[in-house]
Amino acid sequence: MAGSLEGDFESNSEVSDGRQTTRGDVMIRFDNVTKVYGNDTVALERVNLGIDSGEFVFLVGASGSGKSTIVRLILKEMEPSAGSIYVNGTRLSSVPRRRIPRLRRDIGCVFQDFKLLPNKTVAENVAYAMEVTGQKRRTIRTKVPQILDLVGLSGKMEKFPDMLSGGEQQRVSIARAFVSQPPILVADEPTGNLDPTTSVGIMQLLHRINRTGTTVLVATHDREMVDVMRKRVVALEEGRLVRDKVKGAYADEV
């Protein structure tokens, strides 16, 4: 379907600010990270984690185990209570507030509830994400149809989100997250609102994106999906990292 277009989304070796990333570099690193909400809710406890460039990693665990907290810390939506976090070579605690938007340009985000703008068409939703990061109109005009073709939605560019199925809406949000080819894509329960068949398609799409060189981190408690994909699985239990398997299944023993 998107054969000839894939070339445009293939090489991810040079990120937007000209820094070079190569497969094997550490993309996300947590050093002894603890996060306490308020005075006494320990959401993460001394988490150590390294994710290399080009990896596909599932972050699994029961509800409340700390998955979203990890995602929010990567996005620097909040600070850890202790420990250090590095994203794409940058220590997050050294990034001043005004530089956070710049940092987030390196991280495409996909959420369970899609977060599409209801009054904009599919094409406008994707274009808007590029406009706010200051990309040229000509680049936007070229890239939007290409990425929508890549996610299998070229026939729905002028539709509004509420005219699409859940799976299609999630494809739009993946297109939006990936259109500027960030080195990292983070998805928080991307199949949480979707039926199993639709979920398979979404995971395959994330896998294809990973094959272009993008590091992909998927937080989920979709056991079946994790078991089928046979990717690295990092498991959390009550804020502790309890398992890290290269080609794991959801419920592998420690």
CA atoms within 13 A on the CB side of 124: 9
Binding flag, residue 69, ligand ADP (CB under 6 A): yes
User: Among residues 12, 21, 53, 68, which is the contact residue for ligand ADP, using CB under 6 A?
Assistant: 68
Q: How many residues bind ligand ADP (CB under 6 A)?
A: 12
Instruction: Tell me if 191 contacts ligand ADP by CB under 6 A.
Output: no
> Exposed, middle or buried by CB within 10 Å (0-12, 13-18, 19+), for 110?
buried
Q: Does 61 bind ligand ADP (CB under 6 A)?
A: yes
Stretch that binds ligand ADP, among 24-32, 62-70, 85-93, 98-106 (CB under 6 A): 62-70
Interface segment toward ligand ADP; rule CB under 6 A; list 66-74, 128-136, 143-151, 157-165: 66-74
DSSP code at position 70: H
User: Smallest distance, Å, CB 23 to ligand ADP?
Assistant: 29
Residue 176 interacts with ligand ADP (CB under 6 A): yes or no: no
As given in the structure block, the two tokens for residue 73 are 């810390």
> Whole-number minimum distance, CB 125 to ligand ADP, in Å?
25
Q: Given the rule CB under 6 A, which of 5-13, 38-46, 97-105, 119-127 is the region that contacts ligand ADP?
A: 38-46
Distance CA 28, CA 90 (A): 9
Q: Is 73 in the site for ligand ADP (CB under 6 A)?
A: no
The yes or no reply on residue 43 touching ligand ADP (CB under 6 A) is: yes
> In the set 11, 14, 37, 251, which binds ligand ADP (CB under 6 A)?
37
Strand-pair partners of 240: 237
Q: How many whole angstroms separate alpha carbon 247 and alpha carbon 227?
A: 9
* Closer CB to ligand ADP, 163 or 242, in the complex: 242
Among 11, 32, 41, 139, binds ligand ADP (CB under 6 A): 41
One-letter amino acid identity for 145? P
- Is residue 40 part of the contact set for ligand ADP (CB under 6 A)? no
Please give the single-letter amino acid code of residue 246.
V
Burial code of 16-45, b = ≥16 C-beta within 10 A, e = fewer? eeeeebeeeeebbbbbebebeeeeeeebbb
* Nearest to 181, CA basis, from 2, 16, 7: 16
Residue 69, amino acid: T
Under rule CB under 6 A, residue 79 binds ligand ADP: no
In the sheet with 82-87, reading across from the earlier edge strand, the strands are: 41-52, 26-37, 82-87, 90-91
The nearer residue to ligand ADP, 115 or 137, going by C-beta atoms, is 115
Cβ atoms < 10 Å from Cβ of 79 = 11
Site stretch for ligand ADP (CB under 6 A), options 33-41, 79-87, 164-172, 195-203: 33-41
Residue 126 beta carbon to ligand ADP: minimum distance, rounded to whole angstroms:
27
Q: What are the backbone dihedrals phi and psi of residue 118, each rounded to the nearest 5 degrees, phi first?
A: -70, -25
Q: Which residues bind ligand ADP (CB under 6 A)?
A: 37-38, 41, 43, 61, 63-69
